């Protein structure tokens, strides 16, 4: 516990701010839902994907729904770590599976906030770390972080895996990547980050990339504050030989979670290694390079009211791509860029569930780092007003969204 005390104190402003934003979102959701005669707790724990996760926890795999058009929605599409945790909590407490999912998401969202702070602080300094966490909390679809969904759990595992990569703890990074791969298909992004860091380490490219990143951020006070933490992490690193075998082992185990589940689904369905793709096809989901999404956006311009939505979608995608480019120019470490790029590509290029794309982009938290740096440069009073105003807007939107069409 003593080892955790100092990091926890450093992260305390970020975690307290995050808890305040999420509490505001839940209070607004409760009031809004009550006014409409709905249960906020049901919206958070027993609808959409949350219901599918609790069914996996309760009944195991094999449940499916056959739609009139011939589509088959199978619960094999949902990765197992969250249902396993729901089942474990149900087994050792009076909590229902849905209650367990809610508890896991609340705890995981705090762990994710801490992990985001750790990564941002390591690269840009403490103030930018706090701002990054607050920006993640006030995302328009931030209410999902409090739902019995897997986004918070995945983001927590991804953030801490990336932090382990950046601080040279490659075996820890690989272990967390394995768990992330058991949480969502996009766990491949974490695996890619671990692998690119490992390859860079073995080829010597990593040290040169670190030097460039240090030079690119040294001009900011936030980066100067990060240097002592960086030095401590490096001084605590294991000897080169130990680092080599741990790095290799971390790379070896990183893909086992995602690969293991996908291969198990293929065996279970009798359709071989690519059987999971057939399961996703039953949900009309796949990867088409963004063609279906482009058609979806284009169809918005067939009438004036929907054309405004089309313009909004184009602006939103443009903002995401612009933030990624700015991150590259600001010298974000290569593992972060690889992770963010894979998450973004998988989210934007999926062939279905277009309304879910903001939620699917939520784990791509390094996209927020350029905005966090800009916010960190403001006076504290001004940044507090900006963040507070956006938090209120996010809370209202989240309540409106969940009481309307909402996820998936």
DSSP 365-394: GGGGHHHHHHHHTS-HHHHHHHHHHHHHHH
| Residue 38: Cβ within 10 Å count | 14
- Lowest mean per-residue pLDDT among 55-59, 158-162, 212-216: 212-216
Instruction: Specify the pLDDT at position 133.
Output: 98
Question: Per residue in 220-233, pLDDT tens?
Answer: 333 333 333 333 34
- Tens digits of per-residue pLDDT, 380-402? 999 999 999 999 999 999 999 99
Task: Residue 277: count other Cβ atoms within 10 Å of its Cβ.
Answer: 15
Q: Distance between CA atoms of 170 and 363, rounded to whole angstroms?
A: 21
For residues 162 and 211, the model is more confident at: 162
- pLDDT of 369 higher than 50: yes
Domain ranges of the chain: 8-286+372-402
pLDDT, tens digit, for every residue of 20-44?
999 999 999 999 999 999 999 999 9
Indicate if the pLDDT at residue 237 is higher than 90: no
Work out the pLDDT band at 236, boundaries 50, 70, 90. Answer: very low
340: pLDDT strictly greater than 90:
yes
Look at residue 344 in the predicted model and tell me its pLDDT: 97
DSSP code of 301?
A: G
The answer to whether residues 257 and 321 touch, using CB atoms and an 8 Å cutoff, is: no
> Cis omega before residue 408 (within 30°)?
yes
Percent of the chain clearing pLDDT 90 (strictly above)? 75
Measured between alpha carbons, how far is 65 from 63 in angstroms, rounded to an integer?
A: 7
Using CA atoms, how far residue 174 sits from 163, 183, 204, 238, 260, in Å, is: 11, 14, 19, 16, 15
Task: Note whether 121 and 229 are within 8 A (CB).
Answer: yes
CB atoms within 10 A of CB 36: 10
- Tell whether the model's pLDDT for residue 199 goes beyond 50: yes
Please report the pLDDT score of residue 245 as a whole number: 86
Query: What is the distance between the alpha carbons of residues 42 and 333, in angstroms, rounded to a whole number?
Result: 41
CB 135 within 8 A of CB 180: no
Q: Which residue do the tokens 């599918």 mark?
A: 52
Q: Which of the pair, 4 or 135, is modelled with greater confidence?
A: 135
Which H helix or E strand runs over 72?
A: strand 72-74
Q: Which long-range contacts (CB under 8 A, 24 or more apart) does 210-218 make?
A: 210/333, 212/331, 213/123, 213/331, 213/332, 213/333, 215/331, 216/330, 216/331, 217/123, 217/124, 217/330, 217/331
Structure tokens at 264: 């198990």
pLDDT interval class at 2 (50, 70, 90): low
- pTM to 2 decimal places: 0.90
């Amino acid at each position: 516990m003593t080892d955790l005390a100092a990091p926890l104190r450093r992260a305390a402003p970020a975690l307290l701010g995050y808890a305040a934003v999420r509490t505001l979102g839940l209070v607004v959701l409760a009031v809004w839902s009550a006014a409409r005669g709905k249960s906020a707790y049901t919206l958070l724990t027993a609808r959409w994907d949350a219901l599918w996760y609790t069914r996996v926890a309760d009944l195991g795999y094999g449940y499916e729904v056959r739609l009139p058009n011939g589509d088959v929605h199978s619960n094999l599409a949902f990765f197992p770590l969250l249902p396993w945790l729901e089942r474990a909590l149900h087994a050792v407490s009076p909590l229902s599976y849905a209650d367990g999912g809610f508890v896991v998401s609340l705890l995981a969202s705090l762990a994710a906030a801490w992990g985001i702070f750790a990564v941002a602080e390591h690269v840009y300094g403490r103030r930018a770390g706090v701002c990054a966490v607050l920006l993640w909390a006030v995302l328009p679809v931030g209410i999902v972080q409090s739902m019995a969904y897997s986004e918070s759990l995945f983001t927590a595992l991804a953030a801490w895996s990336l932090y382990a990569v950046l601080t040279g703890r490659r075996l820890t990074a690989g272990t967390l990547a394995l768990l992330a791969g058991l949480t969502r298909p996009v766990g491949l992004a974490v695996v890619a980050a671990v692998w690119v860091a490992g390859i860079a380490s073995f080829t010597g490219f990593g040290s040169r990339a670190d030097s460039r990143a240090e030079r690119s951020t040294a001009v900011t006070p936030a980066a100067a504050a990060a240097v002592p933490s960086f030095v401590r992490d490096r001084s605590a690193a294991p000897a080169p030989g130990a680092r080599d075998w741990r790095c290799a082992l971390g790379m070896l185990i990183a893909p086992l979670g995602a690969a293991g589940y996908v291969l198990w689904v293929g065996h279970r369905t009798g359709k071989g290694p690519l059987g999971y793709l057939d399961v996703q096809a039953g949900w009309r989901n796949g990867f088409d390079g963004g063609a279906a999404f482009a058609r979806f956006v284009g169809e918005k311009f067939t009438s004036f009211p929907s054309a405004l939505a089309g313009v909004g979608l184009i602006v939103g995608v443009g903002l995401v791509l612009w933030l990624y480019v700015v991150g590259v120019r600001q010298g974000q470490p290569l593992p972060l860029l690889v992770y963010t790029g894979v998450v973004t590509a998988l989210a934007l290029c999926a062939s279905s569930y277009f309304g879910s794309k903001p939620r699917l982009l939520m784990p791509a938290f390094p996209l927020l780092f350029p905005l966090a740096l800009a916010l960190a440069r403001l006076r504290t009073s001004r940044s507090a007003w900006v963040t507070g105003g956006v938090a209120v807007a996010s809370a209202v939107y989240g309540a409106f969204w969940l009481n309307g069409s909402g996820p998936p």
